[in-house]
Amino acid sequence: MIKGHATAAPADATEFSLEDIEIQLLLEGIRLTYGYDFREYAMRPLRRNIIAAIQAEGIPTISAYQDRILHDATCMQRFIGMVGVSVTSMFREVELTHALRDEVIPVLRTYPSVRIWMVGCATGEEVYSLAILLEEEGVLRHARIYATDLNEDTLAVARMGAYPLDRMRSYEEAYRRAGGRLALSDYYTVSGRSARFYFRPTLQERAHRLFYDSLVRSGYLALGKGESLVFSPGSSRYQQVRNGVSLFRKVR
């Protein structure tokens, strides 16, 4: 007599739910399409973010969300905005700032040039905090800060360097506790209800010189609305292409 035996299920079959499989396929699709690799992120918070994202998009399933996100780059940016951490403020880590000032800055002074990479800069408050620190310690003139973030929306804010004016009181206090030597207001201008951090004239001149040297003759230089060549020593070397637009052509 031959007894029948139930076929054992593959070991992997019970390890993943259908939702887990959908999430893995979504993350793999994002990696292949956009180059962002979230596969090693902690699954529990990532799952919460994905569920919140599909609810915000009004999509019923993760598989349907995968189809949307792989064909719509703006949907991908919205997802990055939900996954990324954008908690930041000026001089947020007071003790760290003191440590940088006391331990790291003296070392940086011994180098002819310094490059600093700030990963996950969010809206840029801590980048400007670092720039102020380097300026006060005489290092900024030969330093270059590279600030990066996955979220293009927060990077746009960082590039502008404009923040609500009502935050400046708490930032001023944090700056003072971090050993600030002047007043934080010395580093920004007020425009409406915003405080805008800016290049000092010497840095503007260095930046314009770099642009000029990089351009071929008859090359074009496009600047933002808040930027101009009017006060630049090299302004005579350019011709404005169109009135009211910060687009210039190198003429000599």
Q: Which long-range contacts (CB under 8 A, 24 or more apart) does 84-88 make?
A: 84/120, 84/122, 84/149, 84/150, 84/151, 84/154, 85/120, 85/122, 86/122, 86/123, 86/151, 86/154, 87/122, 88/121, 88/122, 88/123, 88/124, 88/125, 88/126
Would 88 be classed as within a structural domain?
no
Q: Could you tell me the pLDDT band of residue 183, with boundaries at 50, 70 and 90?
A: very high
Encode pLDDT of 82-125 as tens digits. Answer: 887 667 899 988 888 999 999 999 999 999 999 998 888 888 99
Would 9 be classed as within a structural domain?
no
- The residue among 83, 103, 130 that closes a domain is 83
Q: Please check whether residues 205 and 229 belong to one and the same domain.
A: yes
Encode pLDDT of 18-74 as tens digits. Answer: 888 999 999 999 999 988 888 888 888 889 889 999 999 999 999 999 999 999 999
Give percent of the chain with pLDDT exceeding 70.
85
Q: Tokens 């007043």 sit at which residue?
A: 183
Can you give the CATH number for the domain in which 121 is found?
A: 3.40.50.150
Q: Could you tell me the pLDDT band of residue 245, with boundaries at 50, 70 and 90?
A: confident
Q: Please check whether residues 148 and 193 belong to one and the same domain.
A: yes
Q: Please check whether residues 72 and 137 belong to one and the same domain.
A: no
- The residue among 153, 172, 197 that closes a domain is 197
Would 246 be classed as within a structural domain?
yes
| Structural domains counted in the chain | 3
Does the pLDDT at position 224 exceed 80?
A: no
- The residue among 83, 109, 131 that closes a domain is 83
Would 212 be classed as within a structural domain?
yes
Does the pLDDT at position 3 exceed 60?
A: no
Look at residue 203 in the predicted model and tell me its pLDDT: 54
Would 5 be classed as within a structural domain?
no
Would 143 be classed as within a structural domain?
yes
Contact 78, 52 (CB under 8 A): no
Q: Please check whether residues 240 and 189 belong to one and the same domain.
A: no
Would 65 be classed as within a structural domain?
yes
Look at residue 230 in the predicted model and tell me its pLDDT: 60
Does the pLDDT at position 201 exceed 60?
A: no
Would 3 be classed as within a structural domain?
no
Does the pLDDT at position 171 exceed 90?
A: yes
The single-letter DSSP state of residue 12 is G
**How far, in Å, are 88, 119, 127, 136 from residue 91 at the CA level?**
9, 16, 9, 14
- Domain extent for 136: 94-197
- Write the CB contacts of 248 (distance below 8 Å, at least 6 apart in sequence): 220, 221, 222, 223, 229, 238, 239, 240, 241
Encode pLDDT of 209-221 as tens digits. Answer: 777 888 888 888 8
Q: What is the pTM of this model?
A: 0.63
Task: Say how far apart CA 132 and CA 138 lie, in whole Å.
Answer: 10
Q: Please check whether residues 65 and 51 belong to one and the same domain.
A: yes
Does the pLDDT at position 7 exceed 70?
A: no
